[in-house]
Amino acid sequence: MDKQRLVQTAQALVAEGKGILAADESSGTIKRRFDSINVESTEGSRRNYREMLFRTAGVNEFLSGVILFDETIRQDAADGTSMVKVLADQGIIPGIKVDKGTVPLPEAPDELVTEGLDGLRDRLKEYNDLGAGFTKWRAVIGISDETPTSYSLATNAHALARFAALSQEAGLVPIVEPEVLRDGDHDIDRCFEVTEETLREVFDQLAQQKVLLEGMLLKPSMVISGGSAGKRADPREVAERTIECFKRTLPASVPGIVFLSGGEPDDSVTANLNALNQQAAAANAPWEFSFSFGRSLQGAPLAAWAGKAENTEAAALAFYTRAKLTGAARKGAA
């Protein structure tokens, strides 16, 4: 394990004022996003859209890394430059989603497990050769009266740790993503309880599987009220409860937390991240609170782009605006 490389990359990904753009939507997910703006998802349209994001002038001031999908890490921009080079030339570290999505967990109604471990060691070698500096694996945990079960938490945590150990062996920083879904009308206490149980299980497995905590990043959800809860907790409470939950479960040696946006409205995502950074010092939170956002950075530029070349400039401006505001929230200055 190249500890020095792992630690350096992990720290660079959570550099001050910067975070990660998640542009690693699988073929199915990007098709759904494009359907919402009536654009056909083809290799060309996906390339044009993502190239617009990656070439947005000045965005590297706020982005340390971009997570790519397998197609994109092998793809060239319109002028023949590889997408990896487009990013690396701006000092942005390319990363890669390596899980293969979720399938139903046997004998566990409504619960999912993430696949993609078979052959992962060889795929990681190839991604390293293609220029990746980090990897991502997403596990999905839903909240209901019956779920999550300890069976699904154990199974997903085991896979996350297997992925993380293999990534570090290949010199790649793993972004460990146990996403607790916001769906449901549960209150913030219930989200706290599920997040606490999830993180305990994940860090137990990471320790058992010898993952170097200084050389990884955690990509969790914030502790929030369910998306359809009658009364939703405000940013101050979200930040307090999230920090309280992490203090119980996260070792201080993890350098940074790169939150997902999870389908929360943009303004609430920004306000919550801002509150977390405002409270961090007084609460003695030892971790960087950064971002690894997909929807919250891409919603506005996707709508502005609408698949038309003549909208490229407007879309880039919308992306820059969201990235700048998110970068400010990452410093508690939004």
User: Closest Cα partner for 59 from 21, 16, 96, 25?
Assistant: 21
Minimum CB distance to ligand 13P, residue 212 (Å): 22
219 has catalytic annotation: yes
324 has catalytic annotation: no
Residue in 177, 201, 264, 288 annotated catalytic: 177
Residue 15: how many CB atoms within 10 A of its CB? 14
**Residue 255 burial class via C-beta count within 10 angstroms: exposed 0-12, middle 13-18, buried 19 and up:** buried
Minimum CB distance to ligand 13P, residue 182 (Å): 9
| CB-based closest residue to ligand 13P | 294
Q: Which is nearer to ligand 13P, 228 or 253 (CB)?
A: 228
Minimum CB distance to ligand 13P, residue 281 (Å): 25
Q: Which is nearer to ligand 13P, 235 or 299 (CB)?
A: 299
Helix (H) or strand (E) segment spanning residue 309: none
DSSP assignments along 239-279, one per residue:
HHHHHHHHHHH--TT--EEEE--TT--HHHHHHHHHHHHHH
Q: Which is nearer to ligand 13P, 81 or 116 (CB)?
A: 116
Per DSSP, helices labelled H in 66-221 are: 70-73, 83-88, 120-130, 150-169, 188-208
User: Closest Cα partner for 131 from 79, 72, 167, 88?
Assistant: 88
Q: How far is CA 221 from CA 150, 194, 214, 302, in A?
A: 19, 11, 20, 23
Residue in 25, 201, 219, 264 annotated catalytic: 219
CA torsion sign, 127 to 103 to 177 to 201? negative
Q: Which is nearer to ligand 13P, 212 or 260 (CB)?
A: 260
Angle between helices 266-280 and 295-305 (to 10 degrees): 150
Binding site for ligand 13P (CB under 6 A): 22, 138, 177, 260-262, 293-296
Q: Which is nearer to ligand 13P, 158 or 295 (CB)?
A: 295
Residues with a catalytic annotation lie at 177, 219
